[in-house]
Amino acid sequence: MRRELTALHAELQNHRNLRPSTYALIGDSSRFDYQQLWEGVELRRALLEAQRGQVFALVMDNSPEAVLWDLAALFSGLPCVTLPPFFTQAQRVHCFDQSQVDIAIADEAMAADMQRAGFYRDGAFWRRTQSADPGIPAGTAKITYTSGTTGTPKGVCLSAEALLRVARELEHASRPAAPERYLAVLPMAVLLENLGIYAALLAGASITVFSQKQLGIHGATSVEWRRLLCALVTSGAQSVILVPQLLLGLVTAIERKQLSAEQFRFVAVGGARVSADLLQRAAQVDLPVYQGYGLSECASVVCLNRPGHDRPGSVGRPLRHVTVRLADDGEVLVSGSALLGYLGERPFSGDWLPTGDIGRFDAEGYLYLQGRKKHQFITSFGRNVNPDWVEAELTQRGTIAQAFVHGEGMRQNMALLWPLDPDCSDETLAATVAQANAHLPDYAQVHAWQRLPEPFTPDNGLLTSNGRLRREAILSRYRDALLEPITP
């Protein structure tokens, strides 16, 4: 067992000895103290090792059981494929086939899908025969799939050492706030949440792992806010990891006195650009929000703001285990934590990983992101604009659910908008655009916009399964509308 893996094993053993009756995992209908967690992991680890599988898949919603099986796989050394619940059946089959999964644990609700994917029941497990060598790099502990911009997910192979070093850095960063109760809000199969749970375990915290249904989260884009806010209150969560849209909902609820910011000690936000206005609103209600930045290829988090070292608007300073620099064109390059390789491709052997993100550093080493390199467009006046930045300003004001901004070679920047409330008036949308424009320089402002006839979804091919815009597909479908001089 390697150093970081040995250290996690020792920490769990230490928690078992020092706080055996402290709840480690709390779910919809079950809970495990640290003594039971230790025993549960060791039991499942022995069961896994006895199966002699080659590649293990965890196809489960958030729950204490999912955490126990995930840890068992980690300690067994068996490569573990984790699949988010918002993947389609076709995407799951692709992941199973590409990684040649031959043994799995799945929720009962997934039984029919597992059978359609060629698996059969074998006691607690699902099995099927491996037909080929998937070419998994040596030392792979986890294969995490990113949906990217196409419908075919891409497998990122990561070592236990890389994963747990990031988890240790997250625990160290949040230590001054001393959160004792953590709520897993994102699906566990999302790497950022997986590492958040590891960090909370290292800290000896109590972790609530409600199912996504219990949280009111459906797929990648739908939230029942009443259920989620209830879960935040009843869990007593002092620490959570959120994406910007979930942060927007939390800030709005606090502004409306639906819950108090006082219960929170450390709220991490990442996964997409966060607007300056939303961060300012969070600060005004005294919500301790710390923005970070990372990518699956670097085992998730690379930079993070933290108590005592917080620069709103930045994504923080690099964590201690990585070095970050900028290429001549401003692209962010990372060294010190990289994937072993993409599944089915050559192992990664470079010193610096290009992230595809454009950024800048301030004098004190805080990193500011300016959008995706490949998304950048150039207006007819020769100004570079990253649409991610503009779209964040539009969608994080509580009115607009989705925005697509385009201006390549054009005099005006155009936007396609879908409101949170389908009955929202054009006047309200126009006022929201004007508010966003007030926070943008003239070359980045939205000069004209059009209301979408329907939202972007995975079903209509305009959204990835994890909620990212498929830009080329949107541009192709709405090209005529985006090139017209639209006046709202």
What is the pLDDT tens value at each position of the chain, 488 positions in all? 589 999 999 999 999 999 999 999 999 999 999 999 999 999 999 999 999 899 999 999 999 999 999 999 999 999 999 987 777 788 889 999 999 999 999 999 999 999 999 999 999 999 999 888 888 999 999 999 875 444 567 899 999 999 999 999 999 999 999 999 999 999 999 999 999 999 999 999 999 999 999 999 987 667 899 999 999 999 999 999 998 889 989 999 999 999 999 999 999 999 877 888 899 999 999 999 999 999 999 999 999 999 999 999 999 999 999 999 999 999 999 999 999 999 988 999 889 999 989 999 999 999 999 877 888 887 876 677 889 889 989 998 889 999 999 988 788 899 999 999 989 999 999 999 999 999 888 888 999 999 999 999 988 989 887 678 999 899 999 988 887 454 44
Four-residue CA torsion sign, 229, 231, 233, 236: negative
Q: Report the pLDDT value the prediction gives residue 221, as an integer from 0 to 100.
A: 63
The answer to whether 63 and 33 are in contact (CB under 8 A) is no
Q: Report the pLDDT value the prediction gives residue 150, as an integer from 0 to 100.
A: 45
Residue 99 amino acid letter: S
The answer to whether 337 and 299 are in contact (CB under 8 A) is yes
Q: Which H or E element spans position 268?
A: strand 266-269
Q: Report the pLDDT value the prediction gives residue 1, as an integer from 0 to 100.
A: 59
What token pair was written down for 118?
A: 């060629």
What token pair was written down for 208?
A: 């609530």
pLDDT tens figures, 110-123 = 999 999 999 999 99
Q: Report the pLDDT value the prediction gives residue 410, as an integer from 0 to 100.
A: 83
DSSP state of 373: G
For residues 175 and 154, give the distance between their C-alpha atoms in angstroms, rounded to a whole number: 34
User: Residue 443 half-sphere exposure, CB side, CA atoms within 13 Å?
Assistant: 12
What are the strands, taking DSSP E only, across 129-187? 140-146, 154-159, 181-183
Q: Which H or E element spans position 240?
A: strand 239-242
| Residue 184 backbone dihedrals phi, psi, to 5 degrees | -80, 110
What 3-state DSSP class applies to 242?
strand
Domains of the chain: 161-334+349-371 (3.40.50.12780), 376-483 (3.30.300.30)
pTM of the model: 0.85
The full DSSP string for 188-240 is TTSHHHHHHHHHHHHTT-EEE---HHHHTEETTTEE-HHHHHHHHHHHT-SEE
For residues 127 and 104, give the distance between their C-alpha atoms in angstroms, rounded to a whole number: 6
The answer to whether 430 and 113 are in contact (CB under 8 A) is no
For residues 83 and 133, give the distance between their C-alpha atoms in angstroms, rounded to a whole number: 20
What 3-state DSSP class applies to 60?
coil
What are the strands, taking DSSP E only, across 362-475? 367-372, 377-378, 384-385, 400-406, 414-419, 448-451
